[in-house]
Amino acid sequence: MRRRLIGKTGKTKVGKRFQERVVVRSLVDSTTWPACFCFVSQNSRSSATTDATYRRLRWQLFAGIFVGYAGYYLVRKNFALVIPSLVEQGFSRGDLGVALAALSVAYGVSKFLMGSVSDRSNPRWFLPTGLLLSAGVMFVFGLTDWATSSIAIMTVLLFANGWFQGMGWPPCGRTMVHWWSHSERGRIVSAWNIAHNVGGGAIGPLFILGMAWFNDWHAAFYVPAACAVGVAIFALLTLRDTPQSCGLPAVEVWRNDPAAHNSDTRETNFSAREIFFEHVLNNRMLWVIALANVFVYLLRYGVLDWAPTYLQEVKGFSITDSSWAFFAYEWAGIPGTLLCGWLSDRLFKGNRGATGVVFMALVTLFVAVYWLNPPGHPAIDMTCLIAIGFLIYGPVMLIGLHALELVPKKAAGTAAGFTGLFGYLGGSVAASAALGYTVDAYGWNGGFVLLLGGCAAALMLLSITMLAHRRSRG
């Protein structure tokens, strides 16, 4: 009896329910009580150690990916803050938009390709390496005069920065799908997703601080870059690879939370060809959310990148006021993203598309008010920017989360890179170059017509995912 019981239970993975089953059986069969008691005690200690290790490492890893990804945003959109200064030097908005678009093109391609590399790499080294390289480009921008002497040079440097920026999201997404299970991932991803609001919003105050210290608009580059170096060191010290590499069971086993996909498939290693052709390019719903990402990113960066220029040229804001507006837009996304993740999990029961439709409908309303509000009412302009920032980052987060949930774990980085490829090659490029040339040709009214058209397209595509989710639930 003892051999049969131990042999049978030995095949069961350690977890709370497993421990309870063994305890009950040991109480029922008094003849095997001593052996079973020892077995339960041993596994209780093992389970307690596993629980403690998992909890400690998850807090540590979350800090690493949160601070690490915020660091990437310290050295991403710095160029947008200096566009007004470059316009004063004689550069056109359209040409500067093309240079800025180079960052988006490189980032979109890099995020896709680096996603595949990241799926087979250790995030502990992958993430800090990209951040240090990106910070290096910002130091070149800030500490040399030739870096901003021509559109061609600025385009090349921004392209390089965009390429290195592509090394940030994939290792974070990979970490989250390995260390957090499906039922908790909406809240975790939404909490992590505010990292780019923290980092992106910090650029404005750091720029103001740099101007106060050095009276040099190049401080928008080198002050945040110095902070990014410290962040890279922190990420190196805190990040780890998969739970299995740390001697722990898969997170679904630990939490007794079955994965959306077959558990065997979720943990299977795939070749690059299998990831691309079987799990990404052949996934119809992934194509839909990738197209939606084009228009969500058009809104996200169309408003953000041109806010300093628009507010100074049309609404009469100062450099300091427009920098604070830049900050407010980004940081408003923090509570908005958290609310979106909570609503997506609890109220909409995992229907990412339905949540996105609600948030994008409200974005459309506030973009229209931001456009039609006449000069001389800065409080309304700031309210609209804060509202857009509060709302737009929810759909950004949901699309990334939905991409992770549509594929096995080992293809998560590639799926996220795929949606990012569309978002940056389509939406962000349009927000930079197309919007810049549209404003040059048709004024800011033409630019806002383009933005509102993007809102309508995003709503249509997110509605498709909403209906698909409802059909899948019967």
Contacts of 79 (CB under 8 A, 6+ apart): 99, 100, 103, 141, 154, 158
End-to-end Cα, the chain, rounded Å: 46
pLDDT in the model for residue 245: 86
Q: State yes or no: pLDDT of 361 exceeds 90.
A: yes
Q: Which CATH architecture has domain 59-242+255-472?
A: Up-down Bundle (1.20)
Exposure of 105 in the CB half-sphere (CA atoms within 13 A):
16
Q: How far apart are CA 144 and CA 162, in angstroms?
A: 19
pLDDT-derived band of residue 40, with 50, 70 and 90 as boundaries?
very low
Q: State yes or no: pLDDT of 174 exceeds 80.
A: yes
pLDDT in the model for residue 1: 40
Q: State yes or no: pLDDT of 21 exceeds 70.
A: no
Please name the residue that has the structure tokens 């040399």.
144
**Which of 173, 170, 186, 201 lies closest to 333 in space, CA to CA?**
201
Higher pLDDT: 161 or 191? It is 161
- Cα–Cα separations (whole angstroms), residue 322 to 42, 224, 316, 415: 62, 18, 9, 36
Q: State yes or no: pLDDT of 264 exceeds 50.
A: no
Q: How far apart are CA 246 and CA 357, in angstroms?
A: 40
pLDDT in the model for residue 278: 67
CA angle 201, 190, 124 (to 5 degrees): 80
Q: State yes or no: pLDDT of 24 exceeds 50.
A: no
- Cα–Cα separations (whole angstroms), residue 467 to 345, 354, 396: 17, 8, 19
Q: How far apart are CA 469 and CA 353, in angstroms?
A: 8
- Give pLDDT tens digits for 421-443: 788 788 877 887 888 889 988 99
pLDDT in the model for residue 155: 94
Q: State yes or no: pLDDT of 257 exceeds 80.
A: no
pLDDT-derived band of residue 39, with 50, 70 and 90 as boundaries?
very low
pLDDT in the model for residue 461: 93
Tokens representing residue 51 in the block: 């629980």
Residue 196: is it exposed, middle or buried by C-beta count within 10 angstroms (0-12/13-18/19+)? buried
Contacts of 287 (CB under 8 A, 6+ apart): none
Higher pLDDT: 11 or 194? It is 194
Q: State yes or no: pLDDT of 322 exceeds 90.
A: no
Higher pLDDT: 255 or 9? It is 255
pLDDT in the model for residue 150: 92
pLDDT in the model for residue 74: 93
pLDDT in the model for residue 120: 72
Decide if 72 contacts 171 (C-beta within 8 A): no
pTM above 0.75, yes or no: no
pLDDT in the model for residue 277: 63
Higher pLDDT: 394 or 404? It is 394
Residue 327: is it exposed, middle or buried by C-beta count within 10 angstroms (0-12/13-18/19+)? buried
Mean of pLDDT values over 133-139:
96
Higher pLDDT: 352 or 31? It is 352
pLDDT in the model for residue 35: 37
pLDDT in the model for residue 259: 56
Decide if 65 contacts 175 (C-beta within 8 A): yes
**Which of 420, 325, 455 lies closest to 380 in space, CA to CA?**
325
Mean of pLDDT values over 52-63:
91
Lowest mean pLDDT among 119-123, 166-170, 171-175, 217-221: 119-123
pLDDT in the model for residue 93: 83
Q: How far apart are CA 285 and CA 232, in angstroms?
A: 35
Please state the length of the chain. 474
Letter for the amino acid at 99?
Answer: A
Mean of pLDDT values over 87-94:
85
pLDDT-derived band of residue 299, with 50, 70 and 90 as boundaries?
very high
pLDDT in the model for residue 30: 37
- Give pLDDT tens digits for 455-465: 999 999 999 98
Share of the chain above pLDDT 70, in %: 84
Question: What is the residue extent of each domain of the chain?
Answer: 2-42, 59-242+255-472
Mean of pLDDT values over 39-61:
73
Q: State yes or no: pLDDT of 10 exceeds 80.
A: no
Mean of pLDDT values over 205-223:
88
Higher pLDDT: 317 or 66? It is 66
Higher pLDDT: 180 or 416? It is 180
Mean of pLDDT values over 86-95:
86
Q: How far apart are CA 228 and CA 75, in angstroms?
A: 7
Q: How far apart are CA 250 and CA 180, in angstroms?
A: 9
Lowest mean pLDDT among 60-64, 129-133, 232-236, 281-285: 281-285
pLDDT in the model for residue 8: 39
CA Rg value for the chain = 24
Average pLDDT, the chain: 81
Q: How far apart are CA 3 and CA 235, in angstroms?
A: 48
Give the 3-state secondary structure of the chain.
Answer: CHHHHHHHHHCCCCCHHHHHHHHHHHHHCHHHHHHHHHHHHHHHHHHHHHHHHHHHHHHHHHHHHHHHHHHHHHCCCHHHHHHHHHHHCCCCHHHHHHHHHHHHHHHHHHHHHHHHHHCCCCHHHHHHHHHHHHHHHHHHHHHCCHHHCCHHHHHHHHHHHHHHHCCCHHHHHHHHHHHCCHHHHHHHHHHHHCHHHHHHHHHHHHHHHHHHHHCCCCHHHHHHHHHHHHHHHHHHHHCCCCCHHHCCCCHHHHHCCCCCCCHHHHCCCCCHHHHHHHHHCCCHHHHHHHHHHHHHHHHHHHHHHHHHHHHHHCCCCCHHHHHHHHHHHHHHHHHHHHHHHHHHHHHCCCCHHHHHHHHHHHHHHHHHHHHHCCCCCHHHHHHHHHHHHHHHHHHHHHHHHHHHHCCCHHHHHHHHHHHHHHHHHHHHHHHHHHHHHHHHHHHHHHHHHHHHHHHHHHHHHHHHHHHHHHHHCC
